[in-house]
Amino acid sequence: MTGLILASSSPVRAHLLRDAGVAFAVEPARVDEDAVKQSMLAAKHAPRAIADALAELKALRISLKHPGLLVLGADQVLEFENRLLSKSQNLEEARLLLQRLRGKPHHLMSALVLAKDGATIWRHVEKSTLTMRNFSDDFLDGYLAAEGEELLASVGGYRLEGRGVQLFSKIDGDYFAILGLPLIPLLSALREHCVLAS
């Protein structure tokens, strides 16, 4: 079996891989995501392409340091009203973001790239559409108090695997992709590349 490195510090991605029975090491790739996003937005690239480019950059950066091993890069971007949103820096920013998203749909692009020996060998991007319900300010206050600063780790200010699911009226997309790791296509790719038994 071939070794796998996850080039992400996301505990959710690691948890999903571990629960699926995948053996891997973690080595987060340090990249200036905001600079890449701004450059690509200036060049009029679509959100899907931006998510894919960020995942690829992470995978390639770590792959160059580990010859012979497979490296998984992952990234996720949120598009709302034709604009990319960034993670909130504090709970007040998260409150304002959730108020903007309230009652409206947004799109998550979840990208994965596998690299080996400094070359991309597989990629996948999945789009999910999530519609928030028109929740009350009282609900929002309670949600922010209960979730606290943990929700700042998510670009949308929610964890679908936790209380964040209560924010939504409709979800179109794969659950694992929304969490940041389109697991079913990834597992298929890992079998093809001998990380998992087929």
Dump pLDDT digits (tens) for 39-73.
998 899 999 999 999 999 999 999 999 999 999 99
Residue 142 confidence (pLDDT): 96
* Residue 144 structural domain: 4-192
pLDDT at res. 65: 94
Task: Say whether pLDDT at 1 is over 50.
Answer: no
Give the model's pLDDT for residue 112. 98
Is 185 inside a domain boundary?
A: yes
Q: Is residue 17 part of a domain?
A: yes
Q: What is the mean pLDDT of the chain?
A: 94
Catalytic site includes residue 75: yes
Domain count, the chain: 1
Q: Is residue 198 part of a domain?
A: no
pTM of the model: 0.92
124 falls within a domain: yes
Tell me the pLDDT band of 25, cut-offs 50, 70 and 90: very high
Report yes or no on 175 lying in a domain.
yes
State pLDDT tens for residues 89-104.
999 999 999 999 999 9
In terms of phi and psi (left: phi > 0; alpha: psi -120 to 50; beta: otherwise), the region of 70 is: beta
Classify residue 11 by burial, with Cβ atoms within 10 Å: 0-12, 13-18, 19+. exposed
Give the distance from CA 74 to its chain's centroid. Answer: 6
Q: Name the pLDDT band for 198 (thresholds 50, 70, 90).
A: confident
Quote the pLDDT of residue 21. Answer: 94
The rounded distance, in Å, linking the Cα atoms of 174 and 32 is 28
Q: Which of 52, 75, 138, 174 is catalytic?
A: 75
Asked if residue 164 belongs to a domain, the reply is yes
Q: What is the mean pLDDT of residues 18-40?
A: 92
Residue 11 within a domain: yes
Asked whether the predicted pLDDT for residue 86 surpasses 80, the reply is yes
Q: What is the CATH number of the domain that holds 159?
A: 3.90.950.10
Please tell me which residue, 3 or 171, carries the higher pLDDT value: 171
- Assess if residue 197 is contained within a domain: no
